[in-house]
Amino acid sequence: MSSFRNVHWLWLTAVVMLVDQVTKQLVVKHMALFETVPLMPHLNLTSLRNTGAAFSMFSDSSPIVFVLIGVAVSIGILMWMRRNPQGQTRVAIALALIMGGALGNVIDRVTRGHVVDFVDFYWGTWHFAAFNVADAAISIGAALMVLDSLIESLRSSSAPKAGA
């Protein structure tokens, strides 16, 4: 078996990074900071900058901290993907999405010193933390990992027991 196993899913990582960077560049080029464009009920396009992590946590930290974390996570994911058995497609897709999102935000931190966020979901006066394509890919990847874990847990609990 190839030593690269599920690394062929890296095309998905590249697509996430490309779409993320293109959408962020469009926001930076065509919207003023804090400008809001209503798209539909409960959804705005809002030009924001985030110097922190999720929900602007650790916003006083140096961008290099987040760059190092993103690179370390990506290296770990590459190793995991390389060792991940063929046929665990959900896991491979999840890892590719997470790595694409992590590297998309790393590119922002290296080139801009902050992350461009622009998706603004809200209900009444409550607004969810603004996010971007990279953040969405990370969240979808994490959800796929949880789903895969639940499916595997159900499979193993319903499998016939040896000696039964």
96: pLDDT strictly greater than 90: yes
Mark whether 135 is an active-site residue. Answer: yes
Contacts 24+ apart (CB under 8 A), 2-8: 3/82, 4/82, 5/81, 5/82, 5/83, 5/84, 5/85, 5/86, 6/81, 6/82, 6/84, 6/86, 6/88, 6/89, 6/91, 6/92, 6/95, 7/78, 7/81, 7/82
Catalytic residue among 20, 108, 120, 135: 135
Catalytic residue among 60, 117, 120, 148: 117
- pLDDT at residue 1 in the model: 47
Q: Percent of the chain at pLDDT above 90?
A: 69
Q: Which of 51-60, 66-75, 95-104, 153-162 is the least confident region?
A: 51-60
Average pLDDT, the chain: 89
Give the mean pLDDT of 53-77: 79
63/41 Cα distance (integer angstroms): 34
Any idea what the Cα angle at residue 145 is, between residues 46 and 156, rounded to 5°?
155
What is the band of 60 on the pLDDT scale with cuts at 50, 70, 90? Answer: low
Q: Which residues contact 138 (CB under 8 A, 6 or more apart)?
A: 97, 98, 101, 102
Mark whether 148 is an active-site residue. Answer: no
